[in-house]
Amino acid sequence: MIGSILELGSTIIDKIWPDAGDREKAKVRLMELHNQGQLVELESRVKVMLAEMNGNWLQRSWRPVLMLTIIAIVANNYLLYPYLALFWAKAPHLELPGQLWSLMELGLGGYVVGRSAEKVAKTWRNKSE
């Protein structure tokens, strides 16, 4: 499992850092984190993601459903509500707590990494079969 995490990290580093020297420094740092045991938490998260991907529809879809719900609230408040309020005094404005806003930012920011992890997990799973 750790090998897959290191492979994923290396792939992401290759795509993010244009300078070869910076890429190598980042890869060395990734190996240092691995050697210090700091990737264990990431490994457990990947295991959870793999278990969710192999589960039923609800287990696989709860994160995207949550993200879509939060995005729907944001779309209501910033796209629909301003126009509805012009014509309807009781137009619905939904409160979005700061924690949900942060969760949305985290979810959307982590989408790229999550998709990469899915691809690596699929490859890893196919190799183990």
Residue 128 reports pLDDT greater than 60: no
Residue 98 Cα to chain centre, angstroms: 19
pLDDT tens for each residue of 15-25 = 777 788 888 88
Q: Tell me: the pLDDT tens digits for 39-48? A: 777 777 777 7
Contact in structure between 15 and 116 (CB atoms under 8 Å): no
Q: Which of 43-47, 69-73, 110-114, 125-129 has the highest mean predicted lDDT (pLDDT)?
A: 69-73
CA atoms within 13 A on the CB side of 121: 17
21-30, 65-74, 102-111: least confidently modelled range = 102-111
Residue 62 has pLDDT above 60, yes or no: yes
Query: 86 pLDDT band (50/70/90 cuts)?
Result: very high
Q: Is 27 exposed, middle or buried (CB count within 10 Å of its CB: 0-12, 13-18, 19+)?
A: middle
User: Is the predicted pLDDT of residue 89 greater than 80, yes or no?
Assistant: yes
Proportion of the chain above pLDDT 70, given as a percent: 78
